[in-house]
Each structure stands twice: as C-alpha cells, then as structure tokens.
Chains A and B, each alone.
Chain A
C-alpha cells in the first residue's frame, strides 16, 4: 500500500504537468479534446493523491519505522486516531495533505462547471494544475519526500509531540487547510477572467460561494486553533501573536475585505482592480500561511522544521505568481475601469471602503510585526522583535473601528444617505451604546478599551437585532404571515444579507469575549490534599477549590512496549458561591519516548466565565501540589460567537431556493442566469 502511494506520487507529477500544458493550450486554440484531457487530469491527480495519502496513513498504521517521516511523528504506543492524523502532523505530510485538498477542490470545481462557465474552465483547470504541479515538484525534489527511507528500520518511532496529542490539534490544521485551499478556486477564476478578458462581474458571481466556503473554514479553523492554544498551552490565553497564528489571520483579513468589496463591484461596478489585487494577495497569503511560517524562515514557537530551502522555493513561487498576476492586471487595466463613482461620503459604499482600508491596514500592521525580525535584519544587520504589546496596541483600536463600521454599514443606504436618515436610524442604537457605557461606569469599570468594546458591541447588536425585528415585522404585515414564517421567508429571500448580519452578531459576541480578558483574576497556592483555596471573579462569584487527592499511573518496568505517557492527576472539587459545580482533573504527563512533560489544565466552564486550573508543581511523595487558578470572564463567549459566525456563514452559503436547475432551463429559449449568481 505504501509503495503504491510512492508510485502514485511519481506518476502524479508528469500527469499534472501534461494537464497544465493541454489546458492552457486547449483554451488558447479552442480544442475541446485538449480541454477534456486537462479536466480528466484534474480528477486523476486527485485520485493519485488519495493513493499517496492512503500510503502515508498505511505506513503510520503499519508501524513502518523505515520511513523517516513516520519515525518522527509516531511510535507504537500512539493511539490509532493520532496515527491517522500523522498525515498532517509534520511538514512533509502537511504538504501532501494540502496538495490533496487542493486537488480535491479542483476536482469539485471542474465537475460543478463541466457544463457551465466553459470559457473560463480551460484556464481554471490550467491554473489549478499549475499550482498542483509546483507542489508535486516540491514534494519530490526539495528534500521533503514523505516516503524518504532511513536506510534501516528502527524498532520504534520517536512519538508524536505531546502538544499535538490533542483533539483540537487534529482538527485545527485540516480545517485551516480547507480554507486555504478552497481559496485557490476563486484565484484560478480571477486568473481565467484576466486571461480571457471577460472582466465583468461574472467571475465574482461564479466564485462567491467558493469565497464564502473558504472564509467559513478559515474562520472556524482559527477559532479551533484558539481553542487548542487555550486548552493545551496551559496559561489561560488563546492568542499569542505568534508568527504562525498571525499568518493564518492574514488571509482571513484580506478575504474578509474581499467579501465586502465584491459587493461594491456587483452593486456599483467599482473597485475592479482592487478586487483583483485582493484575490491575488489573499491567495498568496494562504501559501505564506501554510509554508513559509512552517519553514523556520520566521522564528516561531510553532515552526517545526528549519528547512530554509523550502522557504526560498515558496518565496520564489509567491514572487513569480505576484509578478505574473501584476502583469495580467496591468495588461487588462483598460477593461477594469470603474463604471460609477461614489456619490456621497455618507453611503454604504463609503462604509465598505473604510472597512476595506481598515482591514488592509490591520493586515499590513500584522504582517509588518510578523516580519519585523527579518526586516530589521535586512536593514540594520541585527534582529529586533516586537511582541504582543505591539499587536495589541495597533489592532485593538483598529478592531474597534471595524466594530463600529459593522454597525454603521447595514443601516446606511447605498449611494447616498441623508443626514436626516442617519439621525433617524442611529438614535436608538447610539442610545443603547451610551446606556451601556453609563451602566458600566456606574458599576465601576474603568478599563478604557473594555468600555469601548462593550459600548460598541451594544450599539452594533441593537442595530442587528433591530434590522431583524423590523424586517420580520414588515414582512409579516405585508405578506400577512406569522412572525416565525415571516422570519424564515425574510432570510430565505436574501440569504447573503441576513446571513451576513448573523455573522456580524457572532463577531460582536467574539469581541465581547475578547474584551473579557481585561478582568482576569489569578491566584496561586500550594496545597496538600484536603486543603482549599478561594478565588473571586471580576463578575462577583466566589470560587472555592478543594484539593482532594493526587493519583498517578505507575510506569511499568522498562520494557520494550511502554505506555505512551505516564500521568499524575490531581483531583479538585470546585464550588461556585457554595454550590458544587464539578470535579477538575488537571494533570502532568510524561512522555517517556519523547522525554518530555506536558501540562493538562482543568477547565470548568459556565455561561459567563471559565475557571481555569493550571497544575504547576506536583510532588509524588507528599502529594503536595501548587496550582495557579484563574477566573477568565467571558472566554466562553468567544466560542459561542464563533459558532454564531459559522451558522451565519452557512446561512449565506445555503443554496438559494429557486436556483435554476439545468433541466428547467431547457424548456425556455430565454437565457438563464448562472445559479451562483441568483442570490436574491
């Protein structure tokens, strides 16, 4: 099985190269046979990559410790679950996995469009196959072949890094990769639009759903990553401003900007060049996020391997793509002229424009901070670093401005809004924000940024809820429906709009959760079993923790087969305001094969806040242990908000009722819209 995977990898490269060549050639010359061959290539490459991935997984499951990659990321004691996830545990496997997902999405794109958008499709498959060929070249020739052999067989592998032995860590990278690779499809359509010169809003209408899909996976991928950091890194934080995290945030930021700016192009025929640039930049950032940060080019706690050759190869690829895209865009500049101009400063276009400027500003600032060591190295010959204070300083104010715009955008009219209109619509939301501010001040809150966040959150939330309420009520009155069915038909009639509002509501909840960090409390105490400690939360509850006992799994005698880990588990009973809320089991683990310890925190979550227990020190003989206990207000809201965002995105993604189906269209002679463009 494994050997078959290796053979498949070697077959895939020439096939992909052939497909790239015939797709472009077929598009240029109009030869349908070449185009068909190219499209079949897409599916074949996907099939071959499935074999490659299956080969790697088979090597993991079969404990094949003659393979370098398997030795490094597995051992006999590892759970089957983590062995399968070994496919994306390290750089080599990740590269295969990424390629697999990209080819899978390419296949879906080729299949869905087998009868439509035909003018674009040769170039779309050509572009996607070109990217795939590049990745296959890297896999085979850049010293990252996952099937590389050691030349001898070890009895056992080195094991998987303990920090990766976590549920969230097994689903977080695949989710992000799904988001990254899905974005290659809109990019390919943009390239096809540039090459064919069909630069109307067609490519956007066709790819809108892909963009949303990509955004959906990016968003939940980032949230999963935060969740992993929160549970696994054991200090009560979820975001480090670490280069790898920043890199996953960058394409999300530009994709968010893109999602908004395409609406201006669709509605007003403006910003065409800007949208082209955003799609190219976002695609390049997905490459940056996956490969450059993992290559050790920028130092990071996450950077797994320091294989700088890979970094230069990908840097070259990104540079080449950027130059090609720039040439194409410049070449097509005359066809990319705006059809309209913005009529007024007070308009939704204008709000979207500022949303884009701010998002690009955040992207630039995060990028600059992430690359700061490299930049200073280049300019001054010595490396300097900026830490989280830099990122917080820049991004919190900009994030708050974005939050405010999120409230303004939906209410302000397209084209031109009158001041009278603004007064009418903003009076109540502004009052709600001000009331929140006053209430918080009265309650003694003095943290500036938190006050700003909560007030703005109230402002935006009022607007979103009012939009839903007014819309539903109007629909109910006009169509004579009940509230529930009016709500449903309201959303169904414009999924994009109402889905977007749900996303906004979710983002507001996330912001609120983030601002909760201003009110963290922390106590550290050494205890022996039977002792108790108390922590007071900023929200007023009092937590009491009773340290019951310390137990440990006894390491077996040194045998050939060991446990994957040895555990020391503390048992604590938690009470909130005298009421028992549960048992916490924070843990220290030792991984004998890796010679590494790891800390598992105990978390007790309520609707408003988390109780977070970090075991710091445990003595086996006396059972004496030191715990750091934190109460983290509003952290659960980050996860709730993430879920709301995901639901909103799904609402926007859901196929629109009444989207024309091919058979229905044949009855008529009139032309039929592309289904993806039929949102309405």
Chain B
C-alpha cells in the first residue's frame, strides 16, 4: 500500500514539475540576448592568438625574419578582416570598435611583446634583429641595451 502511494506521489510530482511550464506559460530563453556567439569575433581571437604566438616564436628563434614577416602580414590581415565582420552583426552600434574584451587584451599583449622585443633585440645602430639575450649586434657589433631584462 505504502509502495503504491509512494509511486503515485513520485509520478504526480514528476508530472507536475515537467508539465508546469506548459500550463503556466513559463518560458525558457530561446535566444542568447547579448551573449550571442560571434563567428567573426572568434576568428579574430584565433588570429590574434596566432599573432601572439608568432611573436614568441620569433623571440625564441623558431622563425626567421622572412617567415615571421610573411605570417605576420597574413595574420594581421585576417584579424582585420574579422574586425569588419563584427560590425556586420550591427547590434551594438558604435561600441563595437575594438572587438570583444579578450581580443582587446590580446591586442594589448601583442603590442607589448613587440615593444619588448624591439627594445631587447633590435640593434639601435643598424636595426638588425638579434637573438634574444644577445649582448652585441650580430651584424654591426654594436652593444645592445638589453632593455627587457
């Protein structure tokens, strides 16, 4: 008997919980609101991440100048293209410039990296880019500032 009651109660409770929205008209959100996923923003973030890693790869000597220059051009173009994409969504109006938060953080980091690398590696006299940590320029022998240390 108690089993029967328990079963009926369980069933009724479940039914009530599941069917309630249909009767009360309570609704789940169907759209993300301002949380919409933006393909353009995602692609831009990917391009920016790649650009950042590119700076590290250059600093660690994995890439030489030619490869670095070529990839940097390509990736920057892509990041810019998708900046345009973001505007197409056209929802946020003027505030959209500069992309989303993490893209902006990435951009700042890249700028900082480039500056640090320039100060630490580029020869002040002949602009040759030296290996990270070099004391003297490999081309002209000028002493390097070692700004990043």
Number of interface residues of A (CB under 8 A): 78
- Closest B residue to A200 by CB, please name it: B39
Any chain B CB within 8 A of the CB of A671? yes
Determine which of B20, B89, B100, B149 lies in contact with A673 in the assembled complex, contact meaning CB atoms within 8 Å. B100
Q: Is the CB of B18 within 8 A of A37?
A: yes
State A202–B36 Cα separation when bound (angstroms).
10
A window 626-667: CB within 8 A of B: 658, 660, 662, 665-666
Any chain A CB within 8 A of the CB of B14? yes
Any chain B CB within 8 A of the CB of A7? yes
Closest chain-A Cβ to B22's Cβ sits at a distance in Å of: 5
State A678–B44 Cα separation when bound (angstroms).
11
Any chain A CB within 8 A of the CB of B113? yes
Determine which of A31, A33, A421, A470 lies in contact with B60 in the assembled complex, contact meaning CB atoms within 8 Å. A470
Interface 9-residue window, one of B66-74, B122-130, B136-144:
B66-74
Determine which of B26, B49, B148 lies in contact with A478 in the assembled complex, contact meaning CB atoms within 8 Å. B148
B window 32-61: CB within 8 A of A: 32-39, 41-43, 45-46, 48-50, 52-53, 56-57, 59-61
A window 191-212: CB within 8 A of B: 200-202, 205-206
Q: Is the CB of B50 within 8 A of A670?
A: no
B window 11-27: CB within 8 A of A: 11, 14, 17-22, 24-27
Which A residues are in CB contact (< 8 Å) with B70? 416
Which B residues are in CB contact (< 8 Å) with A479? 116
Which A residues are in CB contact (< 8 Å) with B148? 477-478, 480
Q: With A117-B37, A421-B67, A673-B102 given, is the CB distance from A36 to B21 under 8 Å?
A: yes
A window 32-50: CB within 8 A of B: 32-37, 39-41, 44, 48
Closest chain-B Cβ to A477's Cβ sits at a distance in Å of: 5
Q: With A4-B6, A36-B21 given, is the CB distance from A116 to B30 under 8 Å?
A: no
Q: Is the CB of B41 within 8 A of A671?
A: yes
State A183–B68 Cα separation when bound (angstroms).
38
Could you tell me which B residues sit within 8 Å of A by CB distance?
3, 6-7, 10-11, 14, 17-22, 24-39, 41-43, 45-46, 48-50, 52-53, 56-57, 59-64, 66-67, 70-71, 74, 86, 89, 91-93, 95-96, 99-102, 105-106, 109, 113, 116-117, 120, 132-133, 148-149
Could you tell me which A residues sit within 8 Å of B by CB distance?
3-4, 7-8, 11, 15, 18-19, 22, 26, 30-37, 39-41, 44, 48, 51, 114-119, 121-122, 200-202, 205-206, 266-267, 269, 411, 413-418, 420-421, 424-425, 470-471, 473-475, 477-480, 493-494, 497, 658, 660, 662, 665-666, 668-674, 677-678, 680
Known: A115-B29, A478-B117. 8 other contacts (CB 8 A): A4-B6, A30-B30, A37-B22, A267-B50, A414-B71, A471-B56, A471-B60, A674-B35
Sampled A-B contacts (10; CB under 8 Å):
A7-B3, A7-B7, A36-B26, A36-B27, A44-B14, A202-B42, A267-B50, A477-B116, A497-B53, A669-B95
